């Protein structure tokens, strides 16, 4: 089974290049980029936890006093980013009251609240671009704070940006951050002629998976008013990504699957707490 999965990985996944960034280039990028935090969703699988606290899932207090959104902000802040935008709707006040103007964390943050109803990540991005929360002349890193980066060997933020800039040199306008695979949620089996010949608990499936982090160049922003209606709830991955793939404008940056934790249920929350 492992040999077959390794062959599959070789057929569908190979890493791209990264730019070599000196301190001046890095400083220029961080000063001209907004980190957009997707913090508006209801989080249906997380609902019993967040609703019991009357907060949006990314502001649920962890046992160490931290929250997922603050942890995400500090990762970017410590890398040099100062400009943030929180895209909010469900229990928005819990995010706003927690973060304030950002000064407590040493950043500047603005808020873009979905108009009247949830509009999904596509509509939330369009709305933030139209109301100025994301400046049209700045790059943007969109990060879902419940997609936590853990135990990454290196500088995740700098590596992601270096890959994005390498992609822009090749004509790309967006970069999807992916895990190089993820554990299968069940017992995997290899079967021949109906007979099970091998079993493996939670085998690693080497299909690259978008982890909820996307880097956009300003050239990508023109797509949002064309593709997303503020009266509908649509995530940009399902609509924008296929179009960019067709146009050969979507790059990627990959990390090991064990460095990504999608905190969308109690089991994942427990794993995050253990990792902290």
Contact 131, 207 (CB under 8 A): no
pLDDT per position as a tens digit, 110-156: 999 998 888 999 999 999 999 999 999 999 999 999 999 999 999 99
Superfamily for the 17-183+210-275 domain: Spore Coat Polysaccharide Biosynthesis Protein SpsA; Chain A (3.90.550.10)
- The half-sphere exposure of 82 on its side-chain side, counting CA atoms within 13 A, is 7
Please give the average per-residue pLDDT across 227-251, as a whole number. 96
Question: pTM for the whole thing?
Answer: 0.93
DSSP state of 233: -
Average pLDDT, the chain: 93
Whether 237 has a pLDDT exceeding 70, the answer reads: yes
Domains of the chain, residue spans: 17-183+210-275
pLDDT per position as a tens digit, 88-109: 998 899 999 999 999 999 999 9
Distance CA 87, CA 98 (A): 14
Distance CA 260, CA 212 (A): 10
pLDDT per position as a tens digit, 37-50: 999 886 665 656 55
Predicted local distance difference test score (pLDDT) of residue 48: 61
Please give the average per-residue pLDDT across 202-214, as a whole number. 95
């Amino acid at each position: 089974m492992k040999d077959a999965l390794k062959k599959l990985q070789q057929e569908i996944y190979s890493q791209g290049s990264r730019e070599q960034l000196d301190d001046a280039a890095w400083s220029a990028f961080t000063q001209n980029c907004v980190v957009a935090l997707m913090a508006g969703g209801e989080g249906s699988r997380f609902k019993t936890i967040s609703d019991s606290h009357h907060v949006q899932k990314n502001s649920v207090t962890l046992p160490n006093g931290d929250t997922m959104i603050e942890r995400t902000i500090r990762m970017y802040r410590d890398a040099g980013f100062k400009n943030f935008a929180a895209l909010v709707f469900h229990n928005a006040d819990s995010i706003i009251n927690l973060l304030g103007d950002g000064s407590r964390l040493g950043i500047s943050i603005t808020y873009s609240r979905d108009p009247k109803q949830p509009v999904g990540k596509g509509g939330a991005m369009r709305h933030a671009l139209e109301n100025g929360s994301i400046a049209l002349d700045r790059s943007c890193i969109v990060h879902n704070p419940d997609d936590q980066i853990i135990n990454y060997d290196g500088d995740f933020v700098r590596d992601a940006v270096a890959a994005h800039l390498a992609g822009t040199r090749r004509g790309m306008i967006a970069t999807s951050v992916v895990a190089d695979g993820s554990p299968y949620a069940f017992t995997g089996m290899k079967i021949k002629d109906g007979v099970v010949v091998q079993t493996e608990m939670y085998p690693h499936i080497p299909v690259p998976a978008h982890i909820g982090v996307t880097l956009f160049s300003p050239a990508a922003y023109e797509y949002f008013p064309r593709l997303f209606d503020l009266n509908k709830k649509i995530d940009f991955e399902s609509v924008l990504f296929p179009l960019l793939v067709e146009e050969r404008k979507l790059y990627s940056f990959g990390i090991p699957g064990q460095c990504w934790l999608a905190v969308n249920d109690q089991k994942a929350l427990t794993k995050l707490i253990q990792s902290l």
